[in-house]
Amino acid sequence: MPYGKIKSSAKSPYGKLMYMQLRPRCPAHKKPARGGLEGLLLPWTLRPTVGNDPRVYRGDVVMGWPAPAHSKNAVRKAGQRIRNGAHEVEDIDVLNSWRAAHGYIINTFQANLRSRTQSQNVPVAQRLKRGTTIVDKLRQGRALDLATMQDIAGVRLVFPDTATLNAFRDNFHQSRAKHVLSHERQRYNYIAAPKSSGYRGVHDVFRYKTRSVNGAKWNGLLIEVQYRTLVQHAWATAVELSDALTANRTKFSQGSADNERFFKICSELLARKYESNVSCLAAEAKPALVDEWHDIESRTHIFQRLKDAGVQQGEGDIRGFVLLVVQDSGNLEIRRQGSYREALAKLLEVEGQHPDWDVVLVSGENESLRSAFRNYFRNAKEFVSLMTDALV
């Protein structure tokens, strides 16, 4: 982890230049066992860097954002060792440093997108990918290379309908920004071609590019922009909440057969009812789908669990950099932080001390955060309402 006490340097022409370092603290000087996730689960301690330590991480000289501290080749090799279960503490250090460096491009993109949606009722929120999720993607082959993982940085927008979504995306693609779309335009259009799981939405992956002297340090980093409609977002967050309530992995197509089929049917019925579209079960007739939905619900009570989940509001207004912490009990704790550096330090501290907790670093405005990450707030009310009508 690249953050610690700040050591200033008078040599910088910009004033104080920040040097920060976090090093793992191993109890009784024991080295973590190879092959497991122990490196991710260590407690972390803040220590200032000294001398010419090659692992010094420099923050941006204006805003204090951490820049990439390792070459892509070093990041790639660390990711390979983590994927193969042969990692050392230093490899987890590289992962956390690489993850942290994406904060700057998240901030740049969200500011641009937020300014473009000021006159619209479009929630914009962003998150830094959880460390355990990154490891999970590497281990399961859902990502082959840590250095080119596309969604470590993520920004999400939720639109009232597909027409508004498409118009906004078209306009955004025509902006004068130099960032590069890293794929063919329709490659991740899951509205035109829904995933077999029933997921619908559109993803764009951009390669950060700027000519500014300060921003050039982040050139080449990737960020994923997710566009969803309200209906698509209600479905996606209901899947995540259901997984949390039932200990399933439906989101990754690794849930029980009933859970996966249930949400496929929901996706199809929602697409037909509200968006004059189809999803992953386009060839199946509605009466048969509705009958099957009721049959699965009678056995599993998935829908009833979502109705009974209630809404966890958390305490007070939330904005800026926030840790959403779901403890073993399922209770949500909201921890506001004063800066990105503080949020990162606290994120790794909580991840290390409580590896089984669901902890995510997000940022945005109050209502946008509550809407974009409604699964953390146990809010399935919109999904329940939409599905009740879609079944008729």
* pLDDT higher than threshold 70 for residue 308: yes
CA separation for the pair 225, 109 (Å, rounded): 9
What's the mean pLDDT in 7-34?
32
- The one-letter code for the residue type at 55 is R
pLDDT at 178: 84
CA separation for the pair 19, 21 (Å, rounded): 7
Tokens coding 93: 């250090």
* pLDDT higher than threshold 60 for residue 3: no
| Most confidently predicted of 21-25, 232-236, 373-377 | 232-236
Question: Residues 84-128: pLDDT tens digits?
Answer: 999 999 999 999 999 999 999 999 999 999 999 988 889 999 999
pLDDT at 203: 98
Question: Residues 145-182: pLDDT tens digits?
Answer: 999 999 999 999 999 999 999 999 999 999 877 899 99
pLDDT at 313: 64
Output the CA–CA distances (angstroms, integers) from residue 340 to 48, 164, 219, 260, 361, in the order listed. Answer: 18, 32, 20, 37, 9
Locate all alpha helices (DSSP H) within 141-183, ordered by sequence: 162-173
What DSSP string describes 83-147? HTT---HHHHHHHHHHHHTTHHHHHHHHHHHHHHTTTTT--EEEEEPPHHHHHHHHHHTS-S-GG
Read off the pLDDT band of 253 (50, 70, 90).
Answer: confident
What's the mean pLDDT in 6-15?
30
What's the mean pLDDT in 186-209?
97
Contacts of 207 (CB under 8 A, 6+ apart): 179, 180, 181, 182, 220, 221, 222
Contacts of 203 (CB under 8 A, 6+ apart): 188, 190, 224, 225, 226, 227
Residue 361 pairs in a beta bridge with: 128, 323
pLDDT at 51: 31
What's the mean pLDDT in 46-73?
54
Mean pLDDT of the chain: 83
Q: pLDDT over 70 for what percent of the chain?
A: 82
Read off the pLDDT band of 63 (50, 70, 90).
Answer: low
CA separation for the pair 107, 61 (Å, rounded): 16
* Single pTM value for the model: 0.83
